[in-house]
Amino acid sequence: MRFLVLPCDGIGPEITRATMEVLEAANQRFGLGITSDYEDVGFPSLEKYGTTLRDEVIDKARTYDGIVLGPQSHMDYPARDKGGVNVSGGFRVRLDLYANVRPARTRPYLPGKKMDLVIMREATEGFYPDRNMYKGLGEFMPTEDVALSVRKLTSKACERIAREAFKLAMRRGKKVTAVHKANNFIITDGFFLDWVRKVHQDFPEVELNDVIIDAMAAHLDLASELSGSLGLAGSINANAETGLVCAQAQHGSAPDIENQNIANPSSLILSVAMMLTWLGEQRGLPAMVEAGSAIEHAVDAVLENPANRTRDLGGQVNTGAFGALVAAEVAGTALAQDVPAGYPADYAATVEAAKSQGKVVIYTSTDIAQAQALLDAFTAKYGIAVEYNDLGTNGAYNRAISEAAASQMGADIVWSSAMDLQMTLAADGYACNALGCQLSGGQQQRVAICRALVYQPRVLLLDEPLSNLDAKLREEARYWIRKLILDLEICAILVTHDQTEALAAADHILLLQNGRIVQDGTPHDIYSNPRSFYAADFLGANNIARGRVLRAEGANVTIGGEGWELPGQVRDGARLAPDTQAQAVIRVEQIHVTDQPGPDRLEMVLDDSLYLGDRWEYRVRRGDLQIKAHGARELPPGRVYAQIAADKVWVFPAENAA
């Protein structure tokens, strides 16, 4: 099945994007096999090709199964001879899409008088001047003060639109109302009414009324306005004989809100849903019909929650986020049906319960990265959408948090309450639609963090969040995790065995040994003032010198072993008597090795210089003292001199050794 997508003008591209996301969700869930191609019409086409509608596009459209057409800024088009062709009219006439089908119903969750009707409008004739003539326009001025308009009605058009209306009524409430003005347009509207009555004879089960247009206008007061919002009504233009169909929103191009990402895409989404249903019924494809109604239900399910509404309905959710929510809802229902056997019992039970309510509301606090079962079954986006839906509350995200988090995730800035979805999108363009098991480790971590953030926690516990990432990614990840936490202004407790991660990510470190806090302080404090051998040895790259205390004077001690001695300092008020066993920690970066002798330099033997790329590592020894140091250049093996400041030789009693 192939669709031709024509985003057109104004808010067209924005609402088309959101709509196509929903269509793709349905496509995947119901296995519709729909592929889409795009073409320019409207202003983008005028700019490129000098006309708002090219013949090639119409010809191409004929070869497609369905057309998705965005709204046009017709009123701003130049004259016909300057390329301004009515796109919508062009499609309707040249593809003979005579039936414009416009459902209008109130939603129980939105204010409005109860109403559920479908307006079936003839779209190729009547007073439309740009489409009711074979040649020329049905509107003209014989003199400068006389303007005329020709109205055209043919038997064929009257009969087929009436037939479509009765056929539709048979599937609904079996009521048709012919709206007319036959009291004044005795010949034309009278002709139309005659045809309606004639067709009615083929549908005796359907009740037929006729109402004069003035009365009907008063009854309906713009049907789609009543149904909550202009943005909430779908429409298709179809020809039941040729099978050609075009989904088109009921509203216009809304230039006043163009490019602001605030339009409500529901109308086009619902139009596409109608098109799927129509195609499914025409061609006997139940999956298409099911997909159409799934989308319609998804729109309702999303809109029911005031937190999910777009601005025209009093909410704050933007166009893209709304599309993502509906898409997730469409995909979500599928998961209920597709959950494989063998998942944990509570999980299966939750799914069953959700299924019976017609949607999935699976709650899990399980980290997606650690729950293999979830990983296999869920798309990342759905996983997060579920968390979000479970909140059931408005504004789980406020704008500041959303923006900060989204930008940390590298997302387009969004500020809707559906921000978690957007963050996932950020996790990597494709990741949102990938199954959990298809995500890389880094993506899984981001998804997991998004899911936790959905709850807007004041404290976030990160238990070795980066342990399964490769080294490079870990470096990046620890940076964005820190930035995210700072930007969100929340407190996070990060548990890690990776000392560099701890130093890089934390403001404050609690160092634990055997379940007890042995030191706490800033990373700098912990690194440069360790209070125990354990603390000193745990962080950094170290040399350990084990020996005997030779001399002691308060904190200043000299330790020594076979053929060497080193002045150092006893840490943390410990007392070391001469002749006791001691061990010293010396950070690798605190040892300076040179081939030049000097005062306070210990003569040693260099066994080897190892090339590490950005520096050299020296392996030096003296007696039973073996140490590592770094330097910028290669030194030949042999005699070298090591300079080590006494206050960097941290001496501890030997029994403290871990």
Residue with nearest beta carbon to ligand NAD: 252
15 versus 325: smaller Cβ distance to ligand NAD? 15
- Helix, strand or coil for residue 518? strand
* Residue 230 found at the interface with ligand NAD (CB under 6 A): yes
Residues 301-340: x where in contact with ligand NAD by CB under 6 A, - otherwise, as a string? -----------x----------------------------
According to CB under 6 A, which one of 13, 190, 252, 561 is a site residue for ligand NAD?
252
- Ramachandran assignment for 464, one of left (phi > 0), alpha (psi -120 to 50 degrees), beta (any other): left
Of 73 and 379, the one with the shorter C-beta distance to ligand NAD is 73
Task: Report how far residue 210's alpha carbon sits from residue 371's, in angstroms, rounded to the nearest whole number.
Answer: 62
Q: Which is nearer to ligand NAD, 315 or 442 (CB)?
A: 315
Q: Candidates 21-29, 74-82, 90-98, 220-228 — which segment interacts with ligand NAD by CB under 6 A?
A: 74-82
Say if strands 556-561 and 591-594 run parallel, antiparallel, or are unpaired: unpaired
- Could you say whether residue 124 binds ligand NAD (CB under 6 A)? no
Closer to ligand NAD by CB, 74 or 474: give it: 74
Name which of 99 and 584 has its Cβ closer to ligand NAD: 99
- Segment lying near ligand NAD (by CB under 6 A), choices 16-24, 25-33, 253-261, 433-441: 253-261
The footprint of ligand NAD on this chain (CB under 6 A) covers a number of residues equal to 23
- Give the closest residue to 581 by CA, choosing from 610, 538, 548: 548
What the block records as the tokens of 622 is: 């003296």
Q: Which whole-number Å values give the CA distances from 363 to 4, 373, 376, 433, in the listed order? A: 38, 14, 16, 19
Q: DSSP secondary-structure letter at 540?
A: S
Q: Which of 26, 254, 275, 545 binds ligand NAD (CB under 6 A)?
A: 254
Is residue 271 at the binding interface for ligand NAD, with CB under 6 A as the rule?
no
> C-alpha distances in angstroms, 162 versus 79, 244, 335, 637?
34, 18, 41, 101
Nearest by Cα to 124 from 102, 146, 156: 156
Enumerate the β-bridge partners of residue 178: 210
- Our CB check for ligand NAD shows the closer of 11 and 536 to be 11
Amino acid at the residue 645: A
Question: 42 or 530: whose CB is closer to ligand NAD?
Answer: 42
Contact 71, 86 (CB under 8 A): no
- Taking the complex as a whole, how short is the minimal distance between the CB of residue 76 and ligand NAD, in angstroms? 5
d(CA 366, CA 156): 62
Helices of type H across 39-153: 43-49, 55-62, 87-94
- HSE of 269, CA atoms in CB hemisphere, 13 A: 36
Six-digit token string for 223:
């049907």
Binding to ligand NAD by residue 131, rule CB under 6 A? Answer: no
Check binding of 269 to ligand NAD (CB under 6 A).
Answer: no
- Report d(CA 364, CA 387) in Å as an integer: 7
433 binds ligand NAD, rule: CB under 6 A: no
The residue from 76, 221, 346, 352 that contacts ligand NAD (CB under 6 A) is 76
| Residue (275 or 409) nearer to ligand NAD, CB | 275
Near ligand NAD in 5-34, by CB under 6 A:
11, 15
Counting contacts by CB under 6 A, is residue 79 touching ligand NAD?
no
User: Is the CB of 264 or the CB of 519 nearer to ligand NAD?
Assistant: 264
Within residues 82-121, the interface with ligand NAD by CB under 6 A covers 88
Q: Judged by CB under 6 A, does residue 75 bind ligand NAD?
A: yes
Pick from 45, 227, 253, 379 the residue near ligand NAD by CB under 6 A: 253
Cα distance between residue 301 and residue 319, in whole Å: 16
Shortest reach from residue 64's CB to ligand NAD, in Å: 19
- State yes or no: residue 352 binds ligand NAD (CB under 6 A): no
Residue 96's alpha-carbon distances to 8, 62, 233, 244, 564, in angstroms, are 20, 11, 23, 8, 100
* 364: contact with ligand NAD by CB under 6 A: no
Contact stretch for ligand NAD (CB under 6 A) within 259-267, 345-353, 466-474, 475-483: 259-267
Q: How many CA atoms, within 13 angstroms, populate the side-chain half-sphere of residue 602?
A: 23
- From the list 74, 451, 571, 587, which residue makes contact with ligand NAD (rule: CB under 6 A)? 74
Residue 227 binds to ligand NAD (criterion: CB under 6 A): no
Eight-state DSSP code of residue 438:
G
CB of 400 to ligand NAD, least distance (A): 25
Q: How far is CA 542 from the centre of its chain?
A: 45
Instruction: For ligand NAD, give the closer residue by CB, 75 or 141.
Output: 75
- Per DSSP, 101 falls in state E
Residue 566 · residue 604 · CB < 8 Å = no
Question: Does the protein bind ligand NAD through residue 623 (CB under 6 A)?
Answer: no
Burial, 561: exposed, middle or buried (Cβ in 10 Å; 0-12, 13-18, 19+)? middle
Q: Which residues bind ligand NAD (CB under 6 A)?
A: 11, 15, 71-76, 88, 230-231, 248, 251-257, 263-264, 267, 312
